[in-house]
Structure 1
Amino acid sequence: MSEELRREYEIGPQIGRGRFGTVYRCVSAETGEEFAVKSIEKALLADTIDRECVEREAKIAEHAAAGNPHAVQVEAVYEDEAWLHVVMELCPGPDLFDRISGREAPLAETEAAAVMAPLMEAVAVCHRRGVAHRDIKPDNVLFDGCGRLKLADFGSAECFGDGRPMRGLVGTPYYLAPEVVAGRDYDEKVDVWSAGVVLYIMLSGMPPFYGDTAVEIFEAVLRANLRFPTRIFHTVSPMAKDLLRRMLCKDISRRFSAEQVLRHPWITSGGGLRATEEPT
């Protein structure tokens, strides 16, 4: 590890490991405040492309998270010839995946809305700044020491704008939008699709498009046949189903943006609007 990092932070135990680096708990020598630091030893990167990926991740995370209250904040970046260290906000609580998998029943609509609203606020800020996250899933939804939601891991993020499309099979199979799986150009609405999958899982305990292998999952995503099995969704409100249809819409031109999701009545009511009529 770099000497500069060790001067300013006391490095603690390992708390995680990612594709390119190891995450440790650390403490500021000046303030005593706790953080997490992701440390990447450049010599272990396979090639120049890997190196560019980790350097870009740090820059995009700084840009997307700065002042974004529901994204993991980047405190500092240290780099020398051998190491790249990204000091970040510490989120010690169980992530959303652990919260969902640790329950015997799906989340109530009010609980799901309490997650979806700040998640979509984080996504909307990223999109306004020209950043698509591209890997939204429960594992990347963290919570800080006060229980505030924090969107994490910008390792797959990409900048967009000026009409430039994005390409590449990036993300996690269950959460990929159809246009990503199909190999077409796509835009930031892939994040809305992924967040829609997260919402479906919170309300049902299962993914909307599934299979036993990655190929079967991809085939189900491409069909995009959205269903609400009665035995699972009989207690879920029409308003929640309406939002899911608008987020998990194969027609990109009709799919909601992050801002439209935030204005949907189910979100603005905190999941408490149980109207019997479908919204128009």
Structure 2
Amino acid sequence: MIRLGLGDDAPLISFSGEQIPAKRHSPESIARLGAQLQSMMGERFRVLESVAIGGMATLFQVQHTLHRGLFIAKVLHLELVERKDVRESFRREAIHLAQLGNHPAMIPILDFQENDRFAFFLTPFIEGEDLDHTLARCGSLSRTEALHMAAQVSSLLCHAESHGITHCDLAPGNLRLDTFGRYRVLDFGLSRSRFDTTTEYLRGGTPAYTSPEQAAGGQPDHRSDLYSLALILCEAMSGRPLITGDSFDEIRHKHLSAQWTLPAVVQKDPPIAKLMDWMLAADPAERMQSAFELSGVLAALGFERPEFHGMAKIETENRRVRLSN
């Protein structure tokens, strides 16, 4: 199961500050959505079943009728299709998937279709298990596995940072370990780009992993993703979320006031404890400033990704060119 939705008490907010009401979708309405998807896709694909229902969209597993390959169609909920802000966010997600899709931690986009009443995009179906399910089943990851996970995600964040893209909703439920041992980052539905001219962004996220600046209603950037990844790494090593609460307001307060204590397994590991303190600074100016820094630290600890080595060279050259112009 791929988790799409936000927490029950974490509303999705439009760029104007309006709360977008969450609608409960009945099995009948999901079946109608699937039938419309089938009509839109034609005879080349067969819609098999819905696999997840989120606040903005439903995921359907579909199969190609000729070669039997499996895919995922992400379908925007019908009541949201006419909302300009939601529709732009959906298009932006597709664009960001295309821009980052060649990275091994990404799931590439294969197709995008829309009309006045319907919108969906298609990606490969990636078999595996989401990290939140793995932690619920196993309790925690070993130090080695947790740092391998962090290195893979950090490598993708380097790629995203080079393209000016921020995920804005990193959480264990949005990381999937595939059957080849690679972690994939899911759900770019709230992602942003510093190159966009639009101000029509949706605000939201998974409360326990939301950065302080997002919790305060501010503008996230690539440092926000580093904060979220630190929370994921702490949980992966300890088996427990670092920040919990009975309400969104309580969790928000803990983010803003840095009311957390590193788990014992992290405190006993000085290099990781120092790294977590750096990444979890409530003030983005005091936080680690780049995923390239994080990947460099992880490489020094023995967790270098081969694709990061090439990206670091390219980014260094790009920065040199920008400075010389």
The normalised TM-score by structure 2 is: 0.73
Task: Report the equivalent of 1:83.
Answer: 118
1:211 Cα deviation after fit: 2.1
Gaps of 5+ in 1: 272-280
CA pair 27-45 structure 1, distance change in 2 beyond 3 A: same
SS of structure 2 residue aligned to 1:203: helix
SS of structure 1 residue aligned to 2:113: strand
The answer to whether 1:261 aligns with 2:297 is: no
Task: Report the equivalent of 2:238.
Answer: 204
Task: Report the equivalent of 2:46.
Answer: 10
Tell me which of 94, 97, 100 is aligned to 2:135: 100
SS of structure 2 residue aligned to 1:206: coil
Tell me which of 245, 248, 264 is aligned to 2:280: 248
1:167 Cα deviation after fit: 8.0
The answer to whether 1:183 aligns with 2:198 is: no
Task: Report the equivalent of 2:145.
Answer: 111
1:90 Cα deviation after fit: 1.0
Asked if 1 retains the 8 angstrom alpha-carbon contact of 2:96 and 2:188, the reply is yes
Asked if 1 retains the 8 angstrom alpha-carbon contact of 2:242 and 2:261, the reply is yes
Identity %: 23
Greater share of helix? 2
Tell me which of 104, 122, 130 is aligned to 1:69: 104
Q: Deviations over 1:255-280 (max 9, x none)?
A: 22211111114774139xxxxxxxxx
SS of structure 1 residue aligned to 2:110: strand
Q: Deviations over 1:87-141 (max 9, x none)?
A: 112122220000011124x221101012111111112211111111000000010
Q: Mean alpha-carbon deviation: is it higher for 114-123 or for 257-266?
A: 257-266
The answer to whether 1:173 aligns with 2:207 is: yes
Distance 1:264 1:166 in 2: 35
Distance 2:125 2:246 in 1: 35
1:14 Cα deviation after fit: 1.8
Matched residue type, 1:190: S
User: For the aligned residues, what is the CA RMSD?
Assistant: 2.7
SS of structure 1 residue aligned to 2:285: coil
Tell me which of 154, 159, 168 is aligned to 2:193: 159
Asked if 2 retains the 8 angstrom alpha-carbon contact of 1:42 and 1:51, the reply is no
Distance 1:112 1:103 in 2: 13
CA pair 208-167 structure 1, distance change in 2 beyond 3 A: farther
Asked if 1 retains the 8 angstrom alpha-carbon contact of 2:80 and 2:87, the reply is no
1:39 Cα deviation after fit: 2.2
Distance 2:298 2:103 in 1: 23
CA pair 245-190 structure 1, distance change in 2 beyond 3 A: same
SS of structure 2 residue aligned to 1:67: coil
Q: How does 1:115-130 map to 2 (within 5 A)?
A: 115-130=149-164
Gaps of 5+ in 2: 1-36, 305-325
Distance 2:150 2:200 in 1: 25
Asked if 2 retains the 8 angstrom alpha-carbon contact of 1:24 and 1:38, the reply is yes
CA pair 28-125 structure 1, distance change in 2 beyond 3 A: same
Asked if 1 retains the 8 angstrom alpha-carbon contact of 2:38 and 2:47, the reply is no
Task: Report the equivalent of 2:255.
Answer: 221
Distance 1:62 1:184 in 2: 27
Asked if 1 retains the 8 angstrom alpha-carbon contact of 2:58 and 2:77, the reply is no
